[in-house]
Homo-oligomer: A and B are copies of this chain.
């Protein structure tokens, strides 16, 4: 018996059926819809996906309704039915049919809890106004699309997480004036380190989205018809006829908790590697459980459709006599933000700081395919590695180029605990339409290698920004060509400009008794310059990691 009809639940049921033709399998679902693709909702709002039906169909075009489950999979579906209580002693679930109000007891041998998560509603007045949405269910998406069709002009998105960004694109691309409000200082703070967040924020602003970070929503105010009109923040009011609250989701654990099942430190249901709860007859998976992080081995709550599907398969195995393990997750997140792609896997620098893990980073902008190939687009990639073991800990990347391929390679590498420098030896697919001869992720691995071996010495954008803001006397050496300097100015009185090709002959123009921070566009030539200066006996030289291409601050 399975409680929950989306993602993990139906997957577990279907898998169990394939393994055991004789099992008696029932899915209980509080809603009407089953197995919808919740992650597709932003694209429905955007109009890229035309109907919510498309989110409900198999690739072959079959609607995944109760009849489909019955006829194709011989699985009973009780929809519009709420599981109210689990009696673990008698092994029954008390259910209530939402339409008739009738109650019943359904017995189980093995129970699967796949109750998912619900969007968090902030504890402030006005969240029940018309026009204030969460994105929990296709009905919510339909409501938002209707609001847009009815002529809403101004939208506010509360929470600059990945759903917030996806919906910001969906609305802005339809001409709405969109404001994102985020309490924390940067967008997608749980996904990206600040410098990449800032680059992404610029991109959102470039597409017309107003981004208010470090801003707290105090209340929503409506008109006399109960329609939302204003979002009141600690920085002032923002006008809106449409609000999406997307500050996160919370696992639906009440049923499990009431039944005395153990929750983990994240507040989600605790499961072992076989996805069993503290009651061995009861399994749980999907957005209502926590997972082990494969690097830290600590519990994390990262609800994702892909993980829910994996859970379903593992549970389907184990409820039918199998012994399949689910080892954990890497916190992989990828999303599209207008014409940028964003992704991260493993640990960020911020997380390493918090966890006290010694690390080294490389910030490497570069083309996603051969730079001379016409569809080549930039990617800015940040790699994090353990500074003692050299192990790859994480990769983040943003840009119009192909980010996700690199994230997937990193996910595979991190899962098997490989060293960052081993990434540079991988025999990845190379052809000019797909990558450079040295792919950007391998280039990053080489930079990590150079830093670990002491060959490369860099400073981060944030470090340089702080020094620029201080009074400190140092030289900022620009080694780009005169044409590049002309086309992209960096204004600061400390700047000395010597193109890398002239550096050897003009070396005496540089002081040996001051710190020299070198920059170029991507930091390739700046690194070359660092080595040239060191070769000439300079010792106080560093390059700006990521160069101007990854510089997220103003250039003056």
Contact = CB atoms under 8 A, between A and B. Distances in A.
Nearest to A333: B429
Given A40-B372, A59-B367, A306-B427, 4 more contacts: A305-B430, A306-B437, A306-B438, A332-B430
Interface in A362-407: 366-367, 370-374, 402, 404-405, 407
Nearest to A46: B374
Contacts of A331: 427
B49 A431 contact: no
A74 interface: yes
A243 interface: no
Interface stretch (A65-73, A228-236, A263-271, A351-359): A65-73
A257 interface: no
B39 A329 contact: no
Contacts of A7: 437
B370 A40 contact: yes
A437 B39 contact: yes
Given A59-B522, A501-B72, A425 B54 contact: no
Contacts of A341: 434
A418 B415 CA distance: 10
A502 B72 CA distance: 8
A18 B533 CA distance: 11
B525 A60 contact: yes
A110 B180 CA distance: 60
B415 A37 contact: no
A176 interface: no
Interface string A30-62: 000000010110010000110000110101111
A520 interface: yes
B431 A411 contact: no
10 contacts: A37-B432, A49-B373, A74-B504, A304-B430, A332-B427, A332-B430, A334-B430, A408-B429, A409-B412, A416-B418
Nearest to A502: B71
A524 interface: yes
Interface in A483-512: 484, 500-502, 504-505
Contact of A21 (B62, B332, B367, B535): B535
Interface residues on A, range: 35 or more
Interface in A410-433: 411-413, 415-416, 418, 422, 424-433
Interface stretch (A116-124, A307-315, A470-478): A307-315
A290 to B, nearest CB: 14
A457 interface: no
B429 A371 contact: no
A60 B427 contact: no
A528 interface: yes
B429 A343 contact: yes
A426 B455 contact: no
A521 interface: yes
A335 interface: yes
A205 interface: no
Which of A305, A429, A481 has the most chain B CB atoms inside 10 A of its CB? A429
A87 interface: no
Contacts of A294: 427
Which of A306, A412, A413, A500 has the most chain B CB atoms inside 10 A of its CB? A412
B22 A535 contact: yes
Contacts of A108: none
B411 A428 contact: yes
Contact of A425 (B48, B326, B334): B326
Contacts of A373: 40, 43, 48-49
Interface in A513-556: 520-522, 524-525, 527-528, 531-532, 534-536
A419 to B, nearest CB: 11
A85 interface: no
A76 B60 CA distance: 62
B431 A39 contact: yes
A155 B462 CA distance: 57
A297 interface: no
A353 B172 CA distance: 55
A135 B372 CA distance: 18
Contacts of A59: 366-367, 371, 522, 524
B432 A40 contact: yes
A394 to B, nearest CB: 12
Contacts of A531: 17-18, 21
A310 B501 contact: no
Given A60-B484, A438-B309, A528 B18 contact: yes
A435 B19 CA distance: 26
A484 B61 CA distance: 10
